Structure 1
Amino acid sequence: MASGNQGSHLADLWDDAKAAGKNEAELLLYRSNLLGSDKRITNYGGGNTSAKATERDPLTGQPVEVLWVKGSGGDVGTIKLDGFATLYMDKLEALKGLYRGLEHEDEMVGYLPHCTFNLNPRAASIDTPLHAFVPKKHVDHMHPDAIIAIAASKNSKELTQTIFGNDIGWLPWKRPGFELGLWLEKFCKENPNARGLILESHGLFTWGATAKECYATTVEIINKAINWLEGEIKGEVFGGPKVKVLPADERRAVARQLMPVLRGLISADERKLGHFDDSPAVLEFVSSREMEALAALGTSCPDHFLRTKIRPLVVDFDPAKPDVEATIAGLPAALDAYRKDYAAYYERCKRADSPAIRDPNAVVYLVPGVGMLTFAKDKATARISGEFYVNAINVMRGASSVSTYVGLPEQEAFDIEYWLLEEAKLQRMPKPKPLAGKVAFVTGGAGGIGKATAHRLIRDGACVVIADIDADALAAAKDELCGVHGRDAAEGVMLDVTSEDQVIRAFDEAVTAFGGIDILVSNAGISSASPFDETDLATWNRNISILATGYFLVSRQAFRLMKQQKIGGNMVFIASKNGLAASVNASAYCTAKAAEIHLARCLALEGAEFGIRVNTVNPDAVLRGSKIWTGEWREQRAAAYNMSPDELEEHYRKRSMLKLGVYPEDVAEAVFFLASDMSAKSTGNIINVDAGNAQSFTR
């Protein structure tokens, strides 16, 4: 399978030296992390691993057999020991006596907490019986693309026999749960020499007497499937190309034009964030003759389906005659048709106790010749959904090349999507944070106020694009933000706010990264000080260029995007006390800051009809972490007050009415208030964050 990274042979990463001295639980963790490190074995959050270990019962002090199994919602690649559920095996075995049959299968999940060993708070997943009832010490359940390609083929049973003989068995599709656990147990007893099995339309189960043996078997079986498929797939796949693939820069240009419009159209009830993928595997699929027919069949593996919905939406776009405006004009009708189709699917398949219909919008959008767009409630979910659809593409590639691809039956798909156990899981999820699904663009993002603001907005759910002219500081700030909040929390873009081309390009990058913009924090700044008659034209122009023209260029581009999205927006200008209160020896700076304030008021007037609010924060004397206070400005202001630079911060604190210092985090709190719905009925306003200065009271 040459597409993507499938063609490579899986390496055996087991290291005896690293495994030495580990107990069964630690070996399970080691094995799990190795398996989860390769997306060809399983994707994020997919698959399960387990081990049966002898533990000391805390109640009796006697040795007991305990099942260690990946807990609900975990990811084998990043899991820690506390991510595993632990359950008494004898109690799990006793559940067989309570089982009332398939119609009552779901009630068995309620008994799992009663089997908990050592008061472990990690919830056991629905897959627990699948591991408990396999009479082997170590069990892997993975979702490799190469295996699912076989499992999703029309003649998957025959293919399994051809490739693996009696070494690997086969079972027909069955939704995970107690019944499937019993099926697996029966298979193992009837086939004692088998080392695993393929579950139709789902994935791979393998087992072994030791952690190392189990891991080696999993890798061996996947490699055997990869090698067989590579030997069988020859020539064109997906029926060959139907349309040309656009060059990379043109693909991204189309994506940038589509994403904000699409995001606006699907964010009426819940803000969505986007992800763009134009990897080789995606481009091969979206440009092929069979793409539309295969896409309509949906995915096969439940893990793929849960993250990508019943089917994707194919965007009407012809790369041979690229007319993005026409495509955009057709999006509302296309989305309406998809929603109606989804509602019909819900009506056809719903049961008496099914949960209410959920968001009817597509998750995956396929654009011929361009790539794939995915949208979800947060960036990580959008990205991971795209990764899962790439898995689905790889599966369809293999299955359709060696057989006939078969998607999950519609009713089975519905029963998984609207499973009452899945609904209960969704209801237990924490309430979305105030800025969930929103994207903020922060200029001067590597400085004290900018970085503190980024941290504050991310903490309450936003994704942030930090823009700065200082490349080193920008890289360090992005690393810090992603290190604290996760890889999907922030992006960094180089930006000189005085360059119109750079501003446009920076917002283009933000759109490609997240799908649009909801919040602008215009914060890029400089400072200068000199008597008025000694202020040269270069100093004057530099202040006006960065602090006035820069704010104009950045806010204009944000305004355009917000209007295009049609879901409102927020702009917060970081001005200064000096925009309201004149200051000696700072005429250029004060004038430019006053221009910022008035520009914000003008934008508030024009933005109101589009739901775009524009407000201003006026800080004063924020020295800590500020780049503008590290050079001449600090020395110049200290000289104006006839003191040393080290005394300046204390001077400003004592000068304030409240006798308090002002820090970047204080300004960030004001920005958060204005960017959030707490200030939903405020626009054209100013908040002073200066610890009190009568001169800057707003009139």
Structure 2
Amino acid sequence: MTQTVAANRLENLWDDAKAASMSESEKLLYRSNLLGSDKRVTNYGGGNTSAKVMETDPLTGDQVEVLWVKGSGGDIGSMKMDGFATLYMDRLRALKGKYRGIEHEDEMVGYLPHCTFALNPRAASIDTPLHAYVPRKHVDHVHSDAIIAIAASVNSRELTAEIFGDEIGWLPWKKPGYELGLWLEKFATENPQAKGCVLESHGLFTWADDARDCYLTTLEIINKAAAWLEAKTADTAPFGGVKRPTLEPAQRREVAARLMPVIRGLISKERHKVGHFDDQPAVLEFVGSQMLETLAPLGTSCPDHFLRTKIRPLVVDFDPANPDLDKTIGGLADAVAAYRDDYAAYYDRCKHDDSPAMRDPNAVVYLVPGVGMITFALDKATARISGEFYVNAINVMRGASSVSTYQGLPEQEAFDIEYWLLEEAKLQRMPKPKSLAGRVALVTGGAGGIGAATAERFLREGACVMLADIDADALKEVHEGFAARHGKDVVRSVQMNVTDEHQVTGAYAAMAVEFGGIDILVSNAGIASSAPVEETSLALWNKNMDILSTGYFLVSREAFKNFRAQDIGGSVIFVASKNGLAASPNASAYCTAKAAEIHLARCLALEGAGAGIRVNVVNPDAVLRGSRIWEGEWLDQRASTYGTDKEGLEEMYRQRSMLKRSVLPEDIAEGAYFFASDLSAKSTGNILNVDAGNVQAFTR
């Protein structure tokens, strides 16, 4: 049932009628999804839930107690039943006899697979003992901002007692693992009246013997903490008040669009990164505050926050009251280098003899006063989620610094989590990145047959894609299709006329803010016209030149500017035409413009080579299916030229080719992918004919 609650309080979303027919394990999933649906309860991938359920042993047929608990790497908000690990409780209890003490607690993870119920392939997480040994049927562990604000305060124990009395306990900081599971068991056993426990610098555990009661307890405790914080901070200026003004929205995006490609280039020398920009009110409040320089270096407290956002953010030297963006950009290289040096020193101070090698020393989070927050990661979803985690950290710092003194994780504890051997093993199990992972592509004419097929190919290989097209309706349809198949994070679209200089520069600025920059340009926007030369009007001639020559120049020029700002190379692919090499009757304007495209590509290949910018051409011929340039008048004109009808035109083209095969949009996409990928890393200035064979178009 739904109930009315005060503003900013979590709402009870439990539906008794819906839950009535559910099994205990299904109620666990229901509860988990409800909790995970609200980022005020826990962040993406954070926290875990469990239930101890009686199940039929598949071997003996006996009733046995089984722990259902969120498996490794899952997200309680979006997981399904297969996201839970299932383990025999009697075997989990028997593990206590194998425990050799805190120095050996990591080895206990290796025993968890021996406790698996029903051959469940879902791996159990390091938090399994924290749920197994609490003597209650249902357990929730969440990372609510309101709770962590209390947990990350210097006097968190006293604050917990003040807010909750003996209803909620408190345990000092302890890295998640087997020992902490035993601590929770001891606390719950010795304090049977307690509904849960606050873990210092970490989060909240709550429990009950009924799924609904556990859910309601979690909401009740979080709401109680939130209400207490609001009352305590009602007359307090967050973060000590405002120090720097906030720029207007358009100005913020303009600054971000300039900064992000430069930062991206500086941190993408080894592997390409993708960016995310966030200027929500919570972020702007923090980056413009008196306490920014004090709190930012302290880093985050909750381990989930820390693993996503690194030891600390990089605060960009920018003064919104007296903005000098060129000066800020000029200082970024030194700032990034200083951060890397600081990170390397942190690694050297804290490393153990068996620590994994130092990982990427670049910052994940970049805070820009008056502008917002920029995050970079190996993919767009991770960059966005990292930003969400840092917003959680901002909320925690706001609360803690308003009622007490905020404290981040001690440096050694932070290192021991970041370079935990168990965490390293998880990273090593990650799948190999796809061939275009971390790459960002702009595809003009992206709503047409060739453009959409090319974008689809890139998305399948892990790229982020900005679709540009003049046709708003077609663009919307293609965008929505890609978002449904590949996820909303990786695709954006912009309505753009390639002949409009302002629209072109605006599209690149939007792409910089959305993804951080560009690696691949597929210049594909086009038209087609057919007329004898004496019937070719100046307007028709100019239209061909504007779109197929000037348009390609404009989008390439902006690509080159961005490539040079990033200084990590790039790839430009022109989708030209067989007609750029082979003359065709009654198409002088089209053929000439396509020839200009090809020669422009040659010129750009010369200019870009020194910066690692490759420029190549794919030449299609007679791609009829899905291509909008073959609709209407052009189709009629070409059919008339070759003395056939519409239905016979494709067959005519097929028979005209040397290989007697039709050329499809997907074939052109393969050519574009070849030039976009590292498969062609040593190729520039080349022309790839994808025309099923046409001797007139042979390049040599």
Query: Do Structure 1 and Structure 2 share a fold, with TM-score over 0.5?
Result: yes
Residue of structure 2 equivalent to 1:349: 350
For 2:622 and 2:88, the matched residues in 1 are separated by: 62
Which stretch shows the higher mean deviation, 511-520 or 219-228?
A: 219-228
5+ residue gaps in structure 1? Answer: 1-5
**TM-score normalised per structure 2:** 0.98
1:301-357: CA deviations, max 9, x gaps?
Answer: 000000101111111111111001111111111112111111111111111111111
Q: How many residues align?
A: 694
1:393-445: CA deviations, max 9, x gaps?
Answer: 00000000001101111110000000000001111111111111110000001
Asked if 2 retains the 8 angstrom alpha-carbon contact of 1:7 and 1:226, the reply is: no
Please give the residue correspondences for 1:477-556 in structure 2 after superposition, counting only pairs within 5 Å: 477-556=478-557
* CA deviation after TM superposition for structure 1 residue 692, in Å: 1.1
Residue of structure 1 equivalent to 2:3: none
The letter for the 2-side match of 1:623 is L
The letter for the 1-side match of 2:53 is A
1:243-267: CA deviations, max 9, x gaps?
Answer: 1111111111111111111111111
For 2:662 and 2:212, the matched residues in 1 are separated by: 59
1:7-36: CA deviations, max 9, x gaps?
Answer: 611111111222221111111111111111
For 1:424 and 1:452, the matched residues in 2 are separated by: 37
1:41-75: CA deviations, max 9, x gaps?
Answer: 11111110111111111111111111111111111
The letter for the 2-side match of 1:50 is S
The letter for the 1-side match of 2:17 is A
Q: Name the SS for the 2:447 alignment partner.
A: coil
For 1:338 and 1:677, the matched residues in 2 are separated by: 30
Please give the residue correspondences for 1:205-284 in structure 2 after superposition, counting only pairs within 5 Å: 205-233=205-233, 234-284=235-285
Residue of structure 2 equivalent to 1:336: 337
* CA deviation after TM superposition for structure 1 residue 650, in Å: 2.1
Residue of structure 2 equivalent to 1:3: none
The letter for the 2-side match of 1:103 is E
For 1:137 and 1:176, the matched residues in 2 are separated by: 21
Q: Name the SS for the 1:508 alignment partner.
A: helix
* CA deviation after TM superposition for structure 1 residue 512, in Å: 0.4
For 1:82 and 1:646, the matched residues in 2 are separated by: 50
The letter for the 1-side match of 2:650 is E
Residue of structure 2 equivalent to 1:632: 633
Please give the residue correspondences for 1:185-224 in structure 2 after superposition, counting only pairs within 5 Å: 185-224=185-224
* CA deviation after TM superposition for structure 1 residue 499, in Å: 0.1
Q: Name the SS for the 1:488 alignment partner.
A: helix
The letter for the 2-side match of 1:75 is D
Asked if 2 retains the 8 angstrom alpha-carbon contact of 1:281 and 1:390, the reply is: yes
5+ residue gaps in structure 2? Answer: 1-5
1:70-120: CA deviations, max 9, x gaps?
Answer: 111111111011111111111111101000000000000001111111111
Which stretch shows the higher mean deviation, 368-377 or 388-397?
A: 368-377
Residue of structure 1 equivalent to 2:8: 8
For 2:388 and 2:212, the matched residues in 1 are separated by: 28
For 1:182 and 1:652, the matched residues in 2 are separated by: 75
For 2:420 and 2:111, the matched residues in 1 are separated by: 18
Residue of structure 1 equivalent to 2:443: 442
Asked if 2 retains the 8 angstrom alpha-carbon contact of 1:7 and 1:230, the reply is: no
* CA deviation after TM superposition for structure 1 residue 641, in Å: 2.2
For 1:646 and 1:512, the matched residues in 2 are separated by: 45
Residue of structure 1 equivalent to 2:416: 415
Asked if 1 retains the 8 angstrom alpha-carbon contact of 2:236 and 2:402, the reply is: no
Residue of structure 1 equivalent to 2:314: 313
* CA deviation after TM superposition for structure 1 residue 651, in Å: 2.1
1:649 is aligned to 2:667:
no
Residue of structure 1 equivalent to 2:400: 399
For 1:262 and 1:330, the matched residues in 2 are separated by: 11
The letter for the 2-side match of 1:576 is S
Asked if 2 retains the 8 angstrom alpha-carbon contact of 1:349 and 1:414, the reply is: yes
Residue of structure 1 equivalent to 2:620: 619
The letter for the 2-side match of 1:228 is W
* CA deviation after TM superposition for structure 1 residue 478, in Å: 1.1
1:469-524: CA deviations, max 9, x gaps?
Answer: 11111111111111111111110011000000000000000000000000000000
* CA deviation after TM superposition for structure 1 residue 644, in Å: 2.1
Which stretch shows the higher mean deviation, 301-310 or 57-66?
A: 57-66
For 1:646 and 1:28, the matched residues in 2 are separated by: 59
* CA deviation after TM superposition for structure 1 residue 132, in Å: 0.8
Runs of at least 4 residues off by over 4 Å: none
The letter for the 2-side match of 1:37 is S
For 1:416 and 1:698, the matched residues in 2 are separated by: 58
1:298 is aligned to 2:295:
no
Asked if 2 retains the 8 angstrom alpha-carbon contact of 1:142 and 1:205, the reply is: yes
* CA deviation after TM superposition for structure 1 residue 654, in Å: 2.0
The letter for the 2-side match of 1:204 is L
Residue of structure 1 equivalent to 2:374: 373
Which stretch shows the higher mean deviation, 606-615 or 657-666?
A: 657-666
Residue of structure 2 equivalent to 1:87: 87
Asked if 2 retains the 8 angstrom alpha-carbon contact of 1:521 and 1:573, the reply is: yes
Residue of structure 1 equivalent to 2:61: 61
Q: Name the SS for the 1:322 alignment partner.
A: coil
For 1:9 and 1:637, the matched residues in 2 are separated by: 66
Asked if 1 retains the 8 angstrom alpha-carbon contact of 2:109 and 2:126, the reply is: yes
For 1:624 and 1:84, the matched residues in 2 are separated by: 45
Asked if 2 retains the 8 angstrom alpha-carbon contact of 1:137 and 1:207, the reply is: yes
The letter for the 2-side match of 1:547 is L
Residue of structure 2 equivalent to 1:430: 431
Question: Percent identity among equivalent residues?
Answer: 72
For 1:133 and 1:157, the matched residues in 2 are separated by: 23
1:279-308: CA deviations, max 9, x gaps?
Answer: 100000000111111011110000000010
Please give the residue correspondences for 1:443-482 in structure 2 after superposition, counting only pairs within 5 Å: 443-482=444-483
The letter for the 2-side match of 1:119 is L
Q: Name the SS for the 1:148 alignment partner.
A: helix
